[in-house]
Structure 1
Amino acid sequence: MMDGRRSSRVQGEEAPEPPSSRSRLEELSTKLHRVRAWLDGSGYDAALFTGQPGLAWVTAGLEDRVSRNEEPGVVWALVDASGIHLITTNVEGKRLSEEEGLAGLGLDLQATPWDRPGGLDAVARELSGDARLANDGHGPGTPEPDGLAGLRLPLTPQESARLAAMGPDCAEALEGALRDWQPAERECDLAARIAAALEKRRLLASLILVGGAERRRAFRHPVPTDAVTGRDALAIIVGLRGGLNVSCSRTVCAGVPQADLEARHRAACAVEAAMITATRPGRSWESVVEVGKVAYEDAGFPGEWRAHFQGGPVGYLSREFDVVPGTASAATLITIGAGFAWNPTVQGAKSEDTFIVAGGGARSVSNTDGWPALTVDTELGPMRRPAILQL
């Protein structure tokens, strides 16, 4: 049986240690090689990463936790022939040096006075000089956002290991909050408890959606409101650590679910299982969506895929790109080590977890042994997917 689950850590156990210096150095070496190869092939001498996904990627996990969800960030990274130069203000420089494990990594840290007009931009210009500079959409140089973002795929072995380590934390934060759910609880209160559980595990809540019995049926993206959840609730999260993202969704119900909800949830699980099974090295991402379309029809919901995007590769964004059939990115081939999350929805129901592509099939990183499961038949055998938790 294709289980995909992994053991949960004992409650209260410490979070995993950060990657070793050796592992991070190996990852940094891979990133430098990719950037320099791209520079050589694109006619540039240096690349500037000002956004948070690019910064975390090129530095092997350095996070700009000060300006959450702002672009550009307060820490930039410039890569040239001499190495990686971090650019920030004197406000952040000391903390980065002392708390972010930079010692021994060979990263050059440049801290400019916070009150210097255009300080980060000015330092980037000084460092690059007359070099032909590409940027990710901000700062000096020529914008090349797609080219630089494309370097983030596929994940390195070190990134796959980090993704696998944080997956259980994301799932346990979500599942723990849902086990304490009450039908009278408001959506925003449940979302707050999920956020707190993520933060306790050193995870940023990149996304939290909560839909109660009424709103989960009405909206595919149920942004939490002050509405009372009612007899059931769907919660969806994306957790962020070290720049990497893990997605998962779970549903909870007071007592036995209504037949309609149970049927739709099973259909979503069947579609997701078919897509997980189809996510293999050498296939295109869009071919998996085609498998999903057939699975929707087989489950009795033809055309339902049109109501919501289906997911795709994960990494330094919740989806590095949405798999839209007919686009260049959707036609790219799946590789071993790629992270992915499919998120099929059937009005009011959703099934979603994060996986890593392996040679013998997909490996789950966000399923735990502590959540009930249902079994779906696939061409590779039975697969367990999260069921509706009955309280």
Structure 2
Amino acid sequence: MWLAREENFTWLAGEGLLKATFGGEIGFLVLGDALYLIHNDIHDDETLRRIAELTNAQLCGYVPNQPGSFEALLTDLTRQRRIGTDGDQAFFQNNIDQLFAQQRLTLTPSEQGQYRTLCRDCASIVQDVARTVRPGQAEKAIAAELAQRFYAAGIKPSLLLISADSGIRRFRHPAPGDNVVNRFAILIAAGTREGRHTAVTRIVAVDGLPPAFDERYRAAMQLNTACMNHSRPHCRLGDVAQERLAAYHASDPTSDWRVRLRADVLDYLPRPVRSRVWRTQEVKPYQAVAWSTGINGIRIEDTFLVLPERNEILTSTENWPVIEVQHAGHTVFRADILRL
């Protein structure tokens, strides 16, 4: 099979390589007896050689300005065998992207261990930075500290949003700016290491909060926990969202709070790409999912792993305040607001 999509290339290469920077056709040709890394021979550089060594692949280059060079190379390697592809490459006969995506989305035991470490590291960094937030600090200063700590831990931030005080109502996606913290800040982060993404959101208060804020936070957390607990194998995320929203509005039909819901089966894709298709995604065992729930700007998000018997929150760490959330007769401990 031919694997050339960014997420599949990264999954097989084992590291986050910006494949597009190499130009032309580049990908892995996976045959029964061999693995080839096909590339534009102008870009025969050390990065490709390292990836070939890590994956035990044989480097094969083609001449980009010579018509038919790419097709001739593939014809020689495949010996007219029928080859599946993860894209729309005309040379191959069968598009297997949807079938292969399920394989890629499911974490193996070794991947689960690596992913738990990533989630724990990401959450710890966000929480450590939250503890340093002070009145008068600008959103962009908080984001800069987050970015520095992410990169120091080998994590590439794929999303950093900071919202202080009034910003939570003004912006759905609060890009860090000059707005300063007076009472509270929301830290929203997503990071990637070795290609996989994780997401976590935390709220820190540096001054007293009005009762209405806590009320909205608990409502958002209750909704988030319900969405998480109903995200079980073979359900569709869009169906979970519709059912949980209906239950939420039925429980308080007079509420005029603005509610937002979105989920991701976390993958090797950047978040904006995943968000276009999340409603149709079907959950499978050993997949990582993150629900983002918001009520009037207050946002809740954690990454969890879908196990056959239960869901495990991966971005929950020690030394952070928790609240008890009751759902379906069970008590779930979730991250509370940090009050400094």
TM-score by length of 2: 0.83
Change (3 A) 1:111 1:181: farther
Deviation at 1:71, TM superposition (A): 9.3
Q: Is the 8 A contact 1:220 1:345 kept in 2?
A: no
Task: Establish whether residue 224 from structure 1 lines up as the match of residue 176 from structure 2.
Answer: yes
Q: What are the residue-to-residue correspondences of 1:363-378 with 2, within 5 Å?
A: 363-378=312-327
Task: Establish whether residue 63 from structure 1 lines up as the match of residue 21 from structure 2.
Answer: no
Deviation at 1:203, TM superposition (A): 0.5
Task: Establish whether residue 236 from structure 1 lines up as the match of residue 188 from structure 2.
Answer: yes
Q: What are the residue-to-residue correspondences of 1:213-362 with 2, within 5 Å?
A: 213-297=165-249, 300=252, 308-317=260-269, 321-322=274-275, 329-330=280-281, 332=282, 334-362=283-311
Task: Establish whether residue 176 from structure 1 lines up as the match of residue 125 from structure 2.
Answer: no
Q: Which residue in 1 is equivalent to 2:59?
A: 109
Q: Which residue in 2 is equivalent to 1:84?
A: 35
Q: Which has the higher strand share?
A: 2
Q: Tell which deviates more after alignment, 336-345 or 87-96.
A: 87-96
Look up the SS of the partner of 1:310 in the other structure: strand
Tell me the amino acid that sits aligned with residue 57 of structure 1.
Answer: W
Tell me the amino acid that sits aligned with residue 76 of structure 1.
Answer: G
Q: Is the 8 A contact 2:259 2:293 kept in 1?
A: no
Q: Structure 2: state its 5+ residue gaps.
A: none
Look up the SS of the partner of 2:126 in the other structure: helix
Q: Which residue in 1 is equivalent to 2:73?
A: 126
Look up the SS of the partner of 2:323 in the other structure: strand
Q: Which residue in 2 is equivalent to 1:49?
A: 4
Change (3 A) 1:140 1:86: farther
Tell me the amino acid that sits aligned with residue 106 of structure 1.
Answer: N
Q: What are the residue-to-residue correspondences of 1:145-184 with 2, within 5 Å?
A: 147=98, 149-184=101-136
Q: Which residue in 2 is equivalent to 1:9?
A: none
Question: What is the distance in 1 between the residues matched to 2:71 and 2:208?
Answer: 60
Deviation at 1:245, TM superposition (A): 0.7
Tell me the amino acid that sits aligned with residue 108 of structure 2.
Answer: T
Look up the SS of the partner of 2:53 in the other structure: coil
Q: Is the 8 A contact 2:159 2:189 kept in 1?
A: yes
Identical-pair percentage: 25
Deviation sequence 1:119-139 (CA, Å, 0-9, x none): 9x9557623556666655586
Deviation at 1:288, TM superposition (A): 2.2
Question: What is the distance in 2 between the residues matched to 1:262 and 1:219?
Answer: 20
Look up the SS of the partner of 1:170 in the other structure: helix
Question: What is the distance in 2 between the residues matched to 1:227 and 1:74?
Answer: 44
Look up the SS of the partner of 2:37 in the other structure: strand
Deviation at 1:190, TM superposition (A): 0.9
Change (3 A) 1:138 1:125: farther
Question: What is the distance in 1 between the residues matched to 2:146 and 2:2?
Answer: 37
Change (3 A) 1:185 1:75: farther
Q: Structure 1: state its 5+ residue gaps.
A: 1-45
Tell me the amino acid that sits aligned with residue 73 of structure 2.
Answer: E
Tell me the amino acid that sits aligned with residue 210 of structure 1.
Answer: I
* Greater relative contact order, per chain length (Cα 8 Å cut-off, separation 6+): 1
Q: Which residue in 1 is equivalent to 2:143?
A: 191
Look up the SS of the partner of 1:368 in the other structure: coil
Deviation sequence 1:295-314 (CA, Å, 0-9, x none): 53266488989853421311
Q: Is the 8 A contact 1:50 1:138 kept in 2?
A: no
Q: Is the 8 A contact 1:174 1:237 kept in 2?
A: yes
Q: Which residue in 2 is equivalent to 1:387?
A: 336
Deviation at 1:209, TM superposition (A): 0.9
Deviation sequence 1:121-178 (CA, Å, 0-9, x none): 9557623556666655586646959535454233333332221121111001111111
Deviation at 1:77, TM superposition (A): 2.5
Q: Which residue in 1 is equivalent to 2:164?
A: 212
Q: Which residue in 2 is equivalent to 1:28?
A: none
Deviation at 1:83, TM superposition (A): 3.4
Look up the SS of the partner of 2:223 in the other structure: helix
Q: Tell which deviates more after alignment, 265-274 or 134-143.
A: 134-143
Change (3 A) 1:155 1:304: farther
Question: What is the distance in 1 between the residues matched to 2:22 and 2:214?
Answer: 41
Deviation at 1:279, TM superposition (A): 1.9
How much is the aligned-residue C-alpha RMSD, in angstroms? 3.4
